[in-house]
A and B are shown apart, each in its own frame.
Chain A
Amino acid sequence: GDSVTQMEGPVTLSEEAFLTINCTYTATGYPSLFWYVQYPGEGLQLLLKATKADDKGSNKGFEATYRKETTSFHLEKGSVQVSDSAVYFCALRMNTNAGKSTFGDGTTLTVKP
């Protein structure tokens, strides 16, 4: 079945550091890929998405590129802020499979001032 593997956390960085959270996937077909963020006490919010190979999703300084050859969708940000502290989830969605999403286990990011 479909699966998503995320880099294990927690990740602790100083403000303005570079962030990478690794995500790889297994899917029978061509999924759309997503990063969701969950701030403390809040629901999942879509951060960015990419729907086909070589697409780059970007939002709020975060970027991720859909790499079909390595089945990866790594999340990056050049300079993190304290307000980026949250749990980040990588997910895939197969359009041919009722559109249900398969999630990774999440990576907790803490940014210290």
Chain B
Amino acid sequence: DTGVSQDPRHKITKRGQNVTFRCDPISEHNRLYWYRQTLGQGPEFLTYFQNEAQLEKSRLLSDRFSAERPKGSFSTLEIQRTEQGDSAMYLCASSSQGDGTEAFFGQGTRLTVV
């Protein structure tokens, strides 16, 4: 198992453009999470999937953000009409269910909106 992988690692886009990020979790993990991390802060929860069902969304996730996890495998996070404030590191994590299990993080996608 190669761990959680994210693509792309870096994305520079112009304000107003749409971007899409992909996350491939660890294959046997049924839980998948998206977080956002800005400079000098810890990751902040955005949304959570259990299998293909999106079960929770943070208030940080505006209407311009949408996430999917078709077939309960990989996930995509799309940001429409990007704004400069969307510039951040977007982290994906996956875990199995059960008490005390840890989340495994990917290396993130760094988004810069210019």
A interface with B by C-beta (< 8 Å): 4, 32, 34, 36, 42-46, 49, 51-52, 89, 91, 93, 95, 98-106
B interface residue count range (under 10 / 10 to 19 / 20 to 34 / 35 or more): 20 to 34
Determine whether the beta carbon of A99 is less than 8 Å from that of B105. Answer: no
B binding-site residues for A, Cβ under 8 Å: 4, 31, 33, 35, 40-45, 48, 50, 55-56, 91, 93, 95, 97-108
How far apart sit A91 and B95, CA to CA, in the bound complex (Å)? Answer: 15
Residue of B nearest to A102 (CB): B45
Does the CB pair A103–B105 fall under 8 Å? no
Q: Which of A34, A52, A103, A106 contacts B102 (CB 8 A)?
A: A34
Q: Taking the nearest CB of chain A, how far is it from the CB of B43, in angstroms? A: 5
25 A-B pairs with CB atoms under 8 Å apart are A4-B42, A32-B102, A36-B105, A43-B91, A43-B107, A44-B43, A44-B91, A44-B105, A51-B100, A89-B43, A98-B48, A98-B50, A98-B55, A98-B56, A99-B95, A99-B101, A99-B103, A100-B33, A101-B33, A101-B93, A102-B45, A105-B41, A105-B42, A106-B41, A106-B42
A6 to nearest B CB, angstroms? Answer: 8
Q: Looking at chain A's contact residues, is the secondary structure mostly helix, strand, loop, or mixed?
A: strand
A95 and B100 in contact, given A42-B107, A43-B108, A100-B56 (Cβ under 8 angstroms): yes
Residues of A within 8 A of B31 (CB): 98-99
Q: Which residues of A contact B104 (CB under 8 A)?
A: 46
- Give the chain B neighbours of A46 by CB distance below 8 A: 102, 104
